[in-house]
Amino acid sequence: MPISSETLVGDRYRLIRQLGQGGMGRVWQGLDEVLGRDVALKELVVPPGLSEEERQELRERSAREARAIARLSHPNVVRVFDVFTGEGGDPWIVMEYVRGVSLHDAIPVPPRRAAEIGLGVLAALQAAHRAGVVHRDVKPGNVMLSDEGRVLLTDFGIATAPGDSSITRTGIMFGSPAFMAPERVHDSRTGPSSDLWSLGATLYTAVEGHSPFERSSPLATLTALVTEPLPPPQHAGVLRPALDGLLQKDPADRISAERAEQLLRAAVAAPLARAPLAIAAPPAIEAAPPVSPPRAVPALVATGRSSRRIPRAALLGGAAVLLIVAVLAGVLLTREPDRPSSPVAQPSTSPATISKAPVSPKVSPSPTPTPRISASPSPAPSGFQLPAGWQMRDDGTGFAVPVPNGWRFGRDSDGRAYWRHPSNGTLLLIDQTRHPKSDPVKDWRNNEAARRSGYRDYARVRLEAVDYWDKAADWEFTYTSSGGAALHVLNRGFVTAPDQAYSIYWSTAAGLWNDQADELQVVITGFRPARS
């Protein structure tokens, strides 16, 4: 019987929708009709062309995953409720349903947040290691961040545990090359220390936006892992001591789990001044405001790097690596450290998000016709009403701007306030100056001439004056980030007083631009300057 939504499996589990699919499995959201609770079901999907022996090997791996998780009862490990055999003899694993987002889709995160996540993953690994279970595939895609604040380690599909016969074939290592410990490449040794290396690579990725030895292919990645020194992290801040200890290539030099916990707790507790936040958004040149002279230092991040996606895995033959991907998904909900401005909209009573399979949008870097963001003839008029689910936010300098609930507040390396969508990366940044330029259009053209070469596949959509406050201009363009993502940007510069001007910088995935036009309009219409 074909498997689809509304199918009843295991005589009690009603499938609702597919959450994700990897090389060997699908993950479904389902309803346990006996207990009336939401569950996640992992279905084994056997690739075509395998022999019966190979099919049985995969079935054993699925049972192995269930046994490994069942050995653990820990708040940082996804729980297993049931295992049953479906039609055709393939097993299903029934697990708790987690509303959240994988770390893979929350990257990049600030060093302090990465340390908090690291403590949760480390606690899960310590519980597993005490039970004799080695995970072997710790990576951002297997770390869930629930909207209740939990950090959970998932996908024990290739874990090893006492009493399990090995299902790894001679000459093949299972795992993800970008997060695999060097000793596993050298001689296939696997132990708790190997999981600690993978934790270090995961946290490195969380703050840097890419894994330390990630290359264009699995073979190139493994070669770099074995032959090249660790690239020093540029954005680790207070996390650096923990990364240095976890990412020692020789297991004998690698720090213990206990020492890793000490260093991660120290990173979480460190004074904020020791961990300046640098956000991995557009290249450094992108956010220099039209209302102030070009800066001598990068405007957003000192390195000009962009957020990068971890490439999906492939099968590396002969020497190689079979990558198994299975994630549950949803949304990360974090507290914002900024403060609401008055008036404050009441939070929406509906859930902030719904769980979904994390999918990187397929977008084109070339500009397409988009809805024009119209200027408000009277910005932030007295009759302006905040939509449900929004709040007026400020950074203490006097302006206020509407921001959707749940967006994360921070400051870039130049101290400018920004808010970022918790899962899709959309960025709202406010810059300001007390020394406005006289002609916003001319200033944008000068900026474009000086900076367009820094944008890969740069394409202007429009650069023109708009009717907004005293005088204003929009610079709208598209480009491709260094990670390959097509982005669409609006940078609106405007003067509100002889000694006050602002820039509203809005950057999002090109494929989301049309869908977010209404949100951008709310931001522009509701902005309130400190002086006008």
CA 305 – CA 302 distance, rounded (Å): 8
CA 494 – CA 93 distance, rounded (Å): 56
Identity (one letter) of the amino acid at 293?
P
Residue with the larger pLDDT of the pair 309 and 445: 445
Q: Per-residue pLDDT averaged across 182-186, rounded?
A: 85
CA 482 – CA 455 distance, rounded (Å): 9
**In this predicted structure, what is the pLDDT of residue 157?**
64
225-239, 330-344, 438-452, range with the lowest pLDDT: 330-344
Tell me: pLDDT of 112 over 80.
Answer: yes
- In terms of average pLDDT, the best of 70-74, 320-324, 400-404, 423-427 is 400-404
**In this predicted structure, what is the pLDDT of residue 279?**
34
Catalytic status, residue 137: yes
Tell me: pLDDT of 316 over 50.
Answer: no
Q: Does 437 show up as a binding residue in the annotation?
A: no
Q: Which of 32, 105, 137, 155 is catalytic?
A: 137
Tell me: pLDDT of 142 over 70.
Answer: yes
**In this predicted structure, what is the pLDDT of residue 416?**
83
The DSSP line for 80-98 is EEEEEE-GGG-EEEEEE--
499-524, pLDDT tens digit by residue?
899 999 999 999 999 989 999 999 99
What is the overall mean pLDDT for the chain? 75
Query: Cα dist. 293→441, 447, 465, 491 in Å?
Result: 14, 9, 19, 15
Tell me: pLDDT of 313 over 70.
Answer: no
Residue with the larger pLDDT of the pair 471 and 186: 471
% of residues, the chain, pLDDT over 70: 72
Residue 249 burial (C-beta neighbours within 10 Å; 0-12, 13-18, 19+): middle
CA 457 – CA 482 distance, rounded (Å): 10
153-157, 370-374, 456-460, range with the lowest pLDDT: 370-374
Beta bridge pairs of residue 173: 321
Give the three-state DSSP class for 519.
helix
| 435 close to 428: Cβ distance less than 8 angstroms | no
**Residue 103 per-residue DSSP state:** G
**In this predicted structure, what is the pLDDT of residue 194?**
93
Q: Per-residue pLDDT averaged across 165-183, rounded?
A: 64
**Residue 453 per-residue DSSP state:** G
Q: Per-residue pLDDT averaged across 8-29, rounded?
A: 85
451-480, pLDDT tens digit by residue?
787 788 999 999 999 999 999 999 999 999
330-334, 390-394, 432-436, 499-503, range with the lowest pLDDT: 330-334
> Does the global pTM surpass 0.85?
no
158-172, 279-293, 384-398, 499-513, range with the lowest pLDDT: 279-293
**In this predicted structure, what is the pLDDT of residue 384?**
79
Q: Per-residue pLDDT averaged across 205-210, rounded?
A: 92
Neighbours of 240 (CB within 10 A): 18
**In this predicted structure, what is the pLDDT of residue 278?**
34
**In this predicted structure, what is the pLDDT of residue 245?**
96
CA 362 – CA 59 distance, rounded (Å): 33
70-105, pLDDT tens digit by residue?
777 789 998 888 888 887 778 888 988 988 888 998
Give the three-state DSSP class for 160.
strand
Structural domains in the chain plus CATH codes: 8-96 (3.30.200.20), 100-269 (1.10.510.10), 390-529 (3.40.1000.10)
